A and B are shown apart, each in its own frame.
Chain A
Amino acid sequence: MSSTSLTLGRAKLRLPRRQVPVLATLVLLLVMYGIGVSQYRAFSNVQVVFNVFIDNGFLLVVAVGMTFVILTGGIDLSVGSVVAMTAMVSASLLQQGLPAQVVLVVALLIGPLLGFLMGCAIHFFEIQPFIVTLAGMFFARGMCTFISGSSIPITDGFWTTMSQQRIGDPQGNFVSISVLIAFAVVIVAAWTLAYTRLGRNVYAVGGNPQSALLMGLPVGRTRIAVYTISGLCSAIGGILLSFYTLSGAPLIAVGMELDVIAAVVIGGTVLTGGSGYVFGTVLGVLALGVIQTLITFDGSLNSWWTRIVIGGLLFAFILLQRLVGIRYK
């Protein structure tokens, strides 16, 4: 059956099969945007697109980190908690009067450190990534409430500037600095995956760890590296979130890991690893953002429809990946 679909694909479509999920996401995104434009006049405003980026900038950064982990065939459940912990740590340090630069450095170090430790536990002790990152999730969430049981506001000058600075054209359309940071992260990540030794190792380990090891690739180092990268991305995401909300709250970003995993899967990355692109993840995050915008525009639909639609999309894309013939183990 797979051979017929293969010949069909070559004869008629001339599409590389691996890119079909990404293209499907792109088509879906355009269709959803088209529906929005045809239904609501204000939807065609450029600012709507910019707002999707502004509202989901931190999600995008975290999803990029998750793409690395999932490409190696692992999973990182701790991202949402690490995002909250980073926001919480920076808020509480700023409250104690530390300078913004010091706070930034400290906050950006905690996430990668936790990721590094989790990667070590996964590699050296051969414990399932699922369980290790679950413990990491509990730990980070516990640290949040340990720091403070209630939300801490941020009044620091640097943070408020980053939060309120608008970069835009004369017509009044603008993006926030967070969006630029998110794009920088995306570009660096895409370049790393496509053109560096680490990136190729990530694909190799995800494709088949046994073969990668026999080829002499540093499997352990790559595995630890991806969890560290995911931790770093979560930390950056946490900083962006604290720019966005100007506070640190212990229960913020609960369940975010689900949205992130959903975005990565909708973006065409296969959960068993070895196949996927950062560009797809960007499209996946955009798809989630556009769904939310559509539901907000509609007004009669309630917020829980977001979850149901995301679940339905997940199902459709997983089915598509199977039909296209990307092999699961």
Chain B
Amino acid sequence: MTDTRSRYRAVTGHQLFWPVAVLVVMLAANTIYRPGFLSVEVNNGHLYGTPIDILRLSAPLILVALGMTVVISTGGIDLSVGSMVAISGATACLYISEQPDQNSLPAVLTGLAMGLGIALVLGAWNGVLVAVIGIQPIIATLILMVAGRGLAQLITEGQIITINSGPYRAIGLGHVLTLPLAILIALAAALLVAAFTRWTALGMIIESVGGNAEASRLAGIRSGRVVFLAYVLSAVCAAVAGFMITANVSSADGNAAGLWVELDAILAVVIGGTALAGGRFHLSGTILGALIIQTLTTSVYAMNISPQTALLFKAVVVIAVCLIQAPAFRARITRQRRAAPTSPPTPAREKEEVPA
């Protein structure tokens, strides 16, 4: 009996148990509501269906959340990713829209390179502020979050730039090997980050910096450089996500592109089990978190609820997941369950009074 119980605890205690459970419950609820939800069909050699749509639409969020995971595991946070999405998308679209032949591959590649270049510069700016000057990450990136929206609008001159470029649209809507290209890019990025952090010492170094930057520095790790790189990586991920988001609609809107994506990304990271205080990180958990958020959005759309009201559901899910994962909440639940007969529950905390 103790064996089954310990095995049960090993399963529920696993970092990915709750995210997977939430995802499965949501998919099940959707299937009950709409039996055709999980069906996937092949059309013109491409896969179509709601699950594929969820995968395709979650690709930008997965990318942003990947960068965010690394930043958060160094003990920081990057609020500027939303602005970064808007800036890089606007730069690429502006360059492509000025070309005589918008379909030419070199022009599109140059546009992408320019978008990436700007993101690199802005990521380096964030990195310098945090790692060299030593400003608290939440404020350092707040600067670009505020100013970045203005920069994006400056690039587009307050207009919505529309483009008509086949290769660029493919980033968001194209298919390779029956699968959407966007999800393959996100997957490749995830594998790349995973390879660098799990097969080399880099991941351990990042976690040690997040655990204690000063101790890591004394142990011979160049904390500053690791933190700096984390912000650059986050900016690059956001830039690629920006290309996808603008390619999806073939237009760049400095105001709306990537709005709230930083919040969704942070949510995905937290749902995935990475602590906001830094330290250990879980890339697979982050990807699951992004999928949960996109599934929630899609299912709310499918139920004919307005997208803004979807925020209500998001709030409920966030609180539920955070409560489940909060050690204090878990301890309280288990204590009540286990210590019913003898020991008094929560000695000090109960005395906290509420303010008048």
Contacts and interface: CB of A to CB of B under 8 A. Distances in A.
Interface in B281-333: 306, 308-316, 318-319, 322-323, 326-329
Interface stretch (A10-18, A136-144, A178-186): A136-144
Interface in A229-273: 250-251, 258, 261-262, 265, 271-272
A125 B140 CA distance: 28
Interface string B145-160: 1111111011001100
Interface string A306-329: 111011101100110010000011
B136 A225 contact: no
Interface in A94-112: none
A304 B158 contact: yes
Interface stretch (A157-165, A167-175, A216-224, A277-285): A216-224
B14 to A, nearest CB: 21
Interface stretch (A26-34, A38-46, A56-64, A127-135): A127-135
B308 A134 contact: no
Interface string B222-234: 0000000000000
B5 interface: no
Interface in B106-156: 133-136, 138-140, 142-151, 153-154
A195 interface: no
A121 interface: yes
B319 A328 contact: no
B136 A328 contact: yes
Contact of B148 (A125, A132, A311): A311
B270 interface: yes
Nearest to B150: A307
Contacts of B157: 302
Interface residues of A, number: 57
Range, interface on chain B:
35 or more
Mostly helix, strand, loop or mixed at chain A's interface? helix
B315 A139 contact: yes
A311 B310 contact: no
Interface stretch (B42-50, B189-197, B346-354): B346-354
A127 B266 CA distance: 14
Contacts of B220: none
Contacts of A225: 355
Contacts of B254: 304
B326 A126 contact: yes
A116 interface: yes
B150 A220 contact: no
Contacts of A258: 142, 145-146
B263 interface: yes
B276 interface: yes
Nearest to B277: A128
A308 B147 CA distance: 4
A141 B354 contact: no
A200 interface: no
Contact of A145 (B149, B306, B354): B306
Contacts of B355: 116, 221, 224-225, 228
B85 interface: no
Contact of A126 (B133, B136, B327): B327
Contacts of A312: 147
Contacts of A228: 355
A162 B139 CA distance: 37
Contacts of A120: 354
B151 A308 contact: yes
A135 B145 contact: no
A314 B139 CA distance: 9
Contact of A142 (B139, B158, B266, B308): B308
Contacts of A191: none
B146 A310 contact: yes
30 contacts: A75-B138, A116-B355, A123-B352, A126-B326, A130-B77, A131-B322, A134-B318, A137-B315, A138-B314, A139-B311, A139-B316, A142-B312, A143-B312, A145-B306, A218-B352, A250-B308, A251-B308, A258-B146, A261-B142, A265-B139, A271-B138, A302-B157, A304-B153, A311-B143, A311-B148, A314-B139, A314-B147, A318-B139, A318-B140, A319-B135
Given A116-B354, A142-B312, A328-B134, 10 more contacts: A124-B328, A125-B329, A131-B318, A132-B322, A139-B312, A141-B308, A144-B308, A303-B158, A307-B153, A314-B147
The 3 closest A-B pairs by CB, nearest first: A311-B147, A142-B312, A307-B150
Interface of A: 75, 116, 120-121, 123-128, 130-132, 134-139, 141-146, 149, 218, 220-221, 224-225, 228, 250-251, 258, 261-262, 265, 271-272, 302-308, 310-312, 314-315, 318-319, 322, 328-329
